[in-house]
Amino acid sequence: MKMLKVQEKKDKGSRILFFLFMAIGIFARVWKFGVVPGDLHPDEAFAGYDAYNLLHYGMDSAGYRFPVYLTTWGSGTSALNTYLMIPFMAVFGAKIWVIRLPQVIVACLTLWVTYLLVKRLFHEKIALCSLFLLAISPWHIGMSRWGMDANMAPGFVIFGLYFFVRGLEEKKYLMLSALMYGLSLYCYATIWSVVPLMLFLQLLYGIICGKIRFDRYLILSGIILAIFAVPLLLFLLVNMDFIDAIRLPFLSIPKLVVMRGGEVSLSNLSLKAHRLWSVLKYQSDDMAWNGTSKYGIYYAGTLSFFVLGLFYCIKTSVEKIRRRMAFQKTLAKTASSSFEEKRLNAQKTEDIPELLLLIQVGCGILLGLLIYTNINRDNILFIPMIITASAGVYYLCSLIDLRYLILPALFYLCMFAGFEHYYFTQYREITDYYFYRGLKDAVEEAVSYDGVIYVSQGIKHSNILFLAEEPVTEFIDTAEYYNYPNAYLEARSFGRFSYDFDPAAPDRNATYILSQNVDLSPFEQAGFTLNTYHFYTVAHYGP
């Protein structure tokens, strides 16, 4: 009876910690959501513009109806993020917080699913450690607050793994795993190079452990995965010039202006390895919008815990494999046993969940060797790293005394408090430039006037397109570029917007959206009214 009460007390304590960590994580992601960062990064602006186009016109910015891959910038972006914006945009309109809403929802769900996943792989304590470290991770908090396509990938890969682990026990969940992995292919193109390997190794693990066999659930899972993979295979064939673009009323396989296929390759492995190590060691890629160099991806010291956790996972896996091999030798001597009996006996042997975590880490590292790493390009690595680091923290404290878990917890809480203050103050000031703060208000004023609107070069046309809600039909008919064809197109003009003007000789019949590096004195001398919105100034002559 006493032991039962102790267990109930432990369970209650675990539930309290779970809800506390979830509350911390959700609060860190939704506090001042849609305001910080502000206003819009050009990539999320283009994603939002295409969501607006698909909702109202049924086509993307190049005229493709419901494409499997978007044609933004000329070299394209993945489409899932944009499609997930559409229902929210239909209800709430084309607002900045609306195009960020899918990302924050996926990020908060990822916290919960990571806890459930680690609890199944290991146990409650490591699950709580993983939830805590992910909830306060500077990288995960930052990426959850803006709508870049790549930011979706870590969540859907983790969803896929979670349902795969559940599918090892209940076969129907394998279909959900296939669905999530299929959707992950529409999150970010770089992961196409490692997700097939990830799935193959996980499938091999399930077969060896006797948890997966050829049955209707496996067939249906394969069909689901194929439904998602085939359009992307056709997309590759189109953009490798094997077949023409496919245009159907309900689906398009687009032809990009430039295909960035060379970004994923086996060339310059040493350079890429050095870059990957640099990003992991210094927790920065020198791109302010991807994270803070001061607090990094997962805080100081976490890389050491990750190495320790990696050692723990490898050591435990080797021990379990040896025991499993010894059991298999014993089983093999029982010649009278049928195949089905041997399979059932294999199921009774010790599972090796550490291998599943190592597969995730290994594929993330492999991706870092195939690309020139920055934080958003190899972001599928970081949640497995955080889980592994949590295992390392637990392993270290278990060697001493589990009560010492309070020490790393206090350290991380102090770091988290410092990060939150920094993120909403100094870091916000740093990122304001990259998220074009003030441009929303400037565009709103400029479009209220009639006539031509001149825009300073350096203000990406994607931001203007979304904020002005430019009709896509007019954009397609009138768009001209400085650098066509190019992987990163820069607009010269579209609709009534133009980037070609002489700031020294302002036209009184036009309105101007000017960046902070433009000399305003010619406009003042010409009698223009100037209204400044943070980094941007609207110049208009007349009432």
- What is the structure's pLDDT at 398? 82
- What is the structure's pLDDT at 343? 52
User: Which of 425, 450, 478 is the endpoint of a domain?
Assistant: 425
Task: Name the CA dihedral angle for 141, 142, 144, 148, rounded to a multiple of 10 degrees.
Answer: -160
Distance CA 138, CA 292 (A): 8
- What is the structure's pLDDT at 336? 52
Residues 14 and 154 in one domain: yes
Contact 511, 488 (CB under 8 A): no
Residues 71 and 136 in one domain: yes
pLDDT (tens digit, 9 = 90+) per residue, 17-35? 999 999 999 999 999 998 8
Residues 465 and 410 in one domain: no
- What is the structure's pLDDT at 40? 93
Distance CA 347, CA 76 (A): 46
Q: Identify whether 433 is part of a domain.
A: no
**Cα 504 from chain centroid (whole Å):** 43
Q: Identify whether 431 is part of a domain.
A: no
Q: Identify whether 488 is part of a domain.
A: yes
Residues of the chain with pLDDT under 50: 3-4, 6, 347-348
Residues 497 and 414 in one domain: no
Q: Identify whether 434 is part of a domain.
A: no
Residues 308 and 449 in one domain: no
Nearest to residue 533, comparing CAs of 460, 424, 445, 423?
Answer: 445
Please report where in the chains the tokens 């039962």 appear, as a residue. Answer: 4
Number of H helices, E strands in the chain: 21, 11
Residues 497 and 378 in one domain: no
Cα distances (angstroms) measured from residue 192 to each of 135, 148, 185, 453 = 27, 17, 6, 41
State the sign of the Cα–Cα–Cα–Cα dihedral 137, 142, 147, 148. Answer: negative
Residues 364 and 446 in one domain: no
Nearest to residue 456, comparing CAs of 502, 506, 499?
Answer: 499
Residues 483 and 415 in one domain: no
Residues 278 and 180 in one domain: yes
Residues 67 and 18 in one domain: yes
Distance CA 543, CA 529 (A): 8
Please report where in the chains the tokens 């640099």 appear, as a residue. Answer: 278
Q: How far apart are the first and last CA of the chain?
A: 83
- What is the structure's pLDDT at 326? 79
User: Which of 366, 393, 425 is the endpoint of a domain?
Assistant: 425
> 3-class secondary structure for 256-287?
CCCCCHHHCCCCCHHHHHHHHHHHHHHCCCCC
What are φ and ψ of residue 252, in 5° steps? -135, 145
Please report where in the chains the tokens 């190899």 appear, as a residue. Answer: 378
User: Which of 425, 447, 480 is the endpoint of a domain?
Assistant: 425
- What is the structure's pLDDT at 62? 95
Provide the number of structural domains found in the chain: 2
- What is the structure's pLDDT at 9? 60
pLDDT (tens digit, 9 = 90+) per residue, 49-83? 999 999 999 999 999 999 999 999 999 999 999 99
Helices (H), 403-489: 406-423, 426-431, 439-446, 461-468, 472-478
Amino acid identity for residue 362 in this structure: G
- What is the structure's pLDDT at 406? 86
Model-level pTM greater than 0.85? Answer: yes
Distance CA 157, CA 179 (A): 10
Q: Identify whether 201 is part of a domain.
A: yes
Q: Cβ neighbours of residue 61 under 8 Å, at least 6 residues apart?
A: 46, 49, 50, 53, 70, 71, 72, 465, 472, 475, 476
- What is the structure's pLDDT at 262? 76
| Residue 192 CB-density burial (10 A; 0-12 exposed, 13-18 middle, 19+ buried) | middle
Residues 421 and 459 in one domain: no
Contact 152, 43 (CB under 8 A): no
- What is the structure's pLDDT at 293? 85
What would the two tokens of residue 431 be? 């990122």
- What is the structure's pLDDT at 281? 93
Residues 503 and 367 in one domain: no
- What is the structure's pLDDT at 482? 95
Residue 505: which domain range? Answer: 439-540
Distance CA 192, CA 186 (A): 9
Q: Identify whether 229 is part of a domain.
A: yes
Q: Identify whether 56 is part of a domain.
A: yes
Amino acid identity for residue 370 in this structure: L
- What is the structure's pLDDT at 35? 87
Q: Identify whether 432 is part of a domain.
A: no
Distance CA 384, CA 390 (A): 10
